């Protein structure tokens, strides 16, 4: 599948969402964002994972 076929809408509803509503058809990647926003995303994801692991460990210790 080449790039042109991937960007082409597969039905009228998706074409409407893309052209009129501005709905994004591509998935965004964290690597494409500016560095401060990217680091903030890494912080929130990391904090959530560490908090979850700490909660699991704390639950088994108490």
Q: What is the pLDDT of residue 9?
A: 65
Neighbours of 15 (CB within 10 A): 14
Q: What is the pLDDT of residue 51?
A: 97
* Helical segments of 1-62, H only: 3-7, 12-16, 35-61
Q: What is the pLDDT of residue 24?
A: 66
Q: Closest Cα to residue 30, out of 19, 18, 42?
A: 42
Q: What is the pLDDT of residue 56?
A: 94
Asked if residue 25 lies in contact with residue 15, where contact means CB atoms within 8 angstroms, the answer is: no
pLDDT in tens, 1-60: 566 666 676 677 777 777 777 666 666 676 788 999 999 999 999 999 999 999 999 988
Report the predicted TM-score, pTM, of the whole model to 2 decimal places.
0.53
């Amino acid at each position: 599948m080449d790039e042109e076929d991937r960007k082409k809408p597969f039905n009228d509803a998706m074409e409407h969402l893309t052209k009129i509503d501005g709905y994004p058809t591509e998935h965004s990647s964290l690597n494409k964002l500016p560095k401060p926003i990217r680091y903030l995303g890494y912080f929130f994801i990391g904090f959530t994972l560490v908090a979850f692991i700490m909660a699991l460990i704390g639950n088994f210790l108490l």
